[in-house]
Copies of this chain bind each other. A is one copy, B any other.
Amino acid sequence: MSKIKATNITWHEGHVGRDEREKLLKQKGVLIWFTGLSASGKSTIAYTLEHALVQRGHLCYVLDGDNIRHGLNKNLGFSAEDRAENIRRIGEVGKLFVDAGLITMTSFISPYRADRDTARATLGAGNFFEVFCDTPIAICEQRDPKGLYKKARAGELKGFTGIDDPYEAPLKPELVIDNSKCTPQEAAVMLVELLEKVGKIPALAE
């Protein structure tokens, strides 16, 4: 059995709280929920913001299709029920990350208002910032980096948001970004300033 030595620990009962983790990280946990059409700029803005925050010493994590659809949600399809469960699980995982103290971003089309409102309720007031990437569909369709709009227009993809499936715009998002009118960098700066304003991160000294 090891002797209690180098660790020099004061022993405590019970859990370490969110506030202790946030103190350690010098930031407050928050879920920044990007929503908008395919190719509206969600992921690009999220990753740009992530780089900006990491440079300032903040711990962030982006939940997106790459790490969620191939992992936690790989047993879900695209039925209405599975789409709702997809967003529910993302909200619940986001809640755990926020409790861990991270500035957490989710980048999913998340077209239905009810699903996003469920996530908002799961996170609770002050923990959920809905960012509506309100880039006009004509611009998104011009960009079409994965050729998905083309396939949807040709009828090769069914149930594509904005073409033959609805996108329900947020009614009271914390921020609206039209990525045809600003760069991802400008959008990231708006978000950094928002995070400073609400005290999630400290402002830089002038």
Binding site for B on A (CB under 8 A): 1-16, 20-21, 24-25, 47-48, 50-52, 54-57, 59-63, 67, 71-72, 75, 85, 89, 92-93, 95-97, 99-102, 122, 181-182, 185-186, 188-190, 192-193, 203-204, 206
Contact = CB atoms under 8 A, between A and B. Distances in A.
A67 B93 CA distance: 10
Contacts of A47: 13-16
B50 A16 contact: yes
Nearest to A8: B204
Contacts of A14: 47
Contact of A102 (B20, B100, B182, B206): B100
A15 B53 CA distance: 12
